Amino acid sequence: MKRIVSTLAWKKTYLEIIDQTQLPLREKYLRLKTIDDVWGAIRFLKIRGAPAIGLAAAYGLLLAAKQFRGKPEEFIQYLSEKTLYLRECRPTARNLFYGLERVLKTAENSGDVLTAISRMERECARLVKEDLICSHRIGTHGLALIKNGMRILTHCNAGALATAGGGTALALFYAAKSAGREILVYVDETRPVLQGARLTCWELMKAEISHILICDNMAGYLMAQKKVDAVVVGADRICRNGDTANKIGTYPLAVLARYHRIPFYIAAPISTIDFSLENGGQIPIEERAAREIIQCGNSAIAPKSTRVYNPSFDVTPGTLITSFITEKGVLSLSEFKTFVCAHKTRR
């Protein structure tokens, strides 16, 4: 699968990322040299998407390790504190915690500081490689669901920019393109930060995949007109019962899809599953600043004193999800629950 963009790249002393807040107007790359740089980039959406922020956080911990100047016996405690710091920047996406856990565990199982840092660096590279493999496999497995001529609705950005470069939901579209299948993608603009309009359209244009941008509130009308054959979105955290947190606006799409008898698919790697949570009511939902809603860019679209409620994610019940498209295959809800039980037992 051809990579549309290199979302992030490790340069030995810094992490280079594409600044997603500048897209689609400018392709600007940033050098993140400290853990604070990484924290800010994640918090302020310069890098976003559950798999991508998990990778960025892992490299943020590595940067902190490389800048450690304390006593050797203080190293693991230092890393534990830095891990807690990074965990706070965005609370909903499971992959952020997964990446940090992997790298911290690697350090804990090492001997001296230099050995730990070397192993952490290799673990970060391994995470990136695994993410690219997952994207490819998600696309390959999901391709079985994509027929020539299909019209597919997607929400937010679950593409190359949300991963190491392969995508989750959009991985299906890239696989379809490689297989020579013609599809039409309807892209929700995704208020309030417009990740669909700014990022997904940008990616699909680069990939030369036919797409149409719509406002979020147009999806139901499209479905009523029988113009949507399937809905495919990504995920930020999936519970054991299949309840799934994704960008705000996903839940009503699932409800609409069920009413109109349209399949609704979640595309995500296994690392997005939170095996500690039974249901979606336990997922912490991030709330973001009011300015994201009362401003569009630098322009005010509501009075400054307007009261705002701005949850960044909503939760779709597993019962509304037709299938989960993962690197392990396409799983129905019952198959997903069986997989989770087996995996949890092995853990």
Active centre residues (catalytic): 236
Give the domain range for residue 255. Answer: 138-346
Place of tokens 């593409």: 159
Last residue of a domain, one of 118, 136, 154: 136
Place of tokens 């549309």: 4
Q: For 195-234, give one letter per residue: b (16+ CB within 10 A) or e.
A: bbbbbbbbbbeebebebebbebeebbebbeeeebbbbbbb
* Residue pLDDT, tens place only, 136-170: 999 999 999 999 999 999 999 999 999 999 999 99
* Residue pLDDT, tens place only, 222-278: 999 999 999 999 999 999 999 999 999 999 999 999 999 999 999 999 999 999 999
* Residue pLDDT, tens place only, 292-319: 999 988 899 999 899 999 999 999 999 9
Q: Which residues contact 300 (CB under 8 A, 6 or more apart)?
A: 294
Judge if 329 and 225 occupy the same domain. Answer: yes
Last residue of a domain, one of 108, 136, 164: 136
Residue 1, in any domain of the structure: no
* Residue pLDDT, tens place only, 33-71: 999 999 999 999 999 999 999 999 999 999 999 999 999
Judge if 187 and 309 occupy the same domain. Answer: yes
Residue 95, in any domain of the structure: yes
Judge if 337 and 203 occupy the same domain. Answer: yes
Number of compact structural domains in the chain? 2
Judge if 161 and 274 occupy the same domain. Answer: yes
Residue 2, in any domain of the structure: no
* Residue pLDDT, tens place only, 174-228: 999 999 999 999 999 999 999 999 999 999 999 999 999 999 999 999 999 999 9
Judge if 67 and 132 occupy the same domain. Answer: yes
Distance between CA atoms of residues 34 and 218, nearest Å: 42
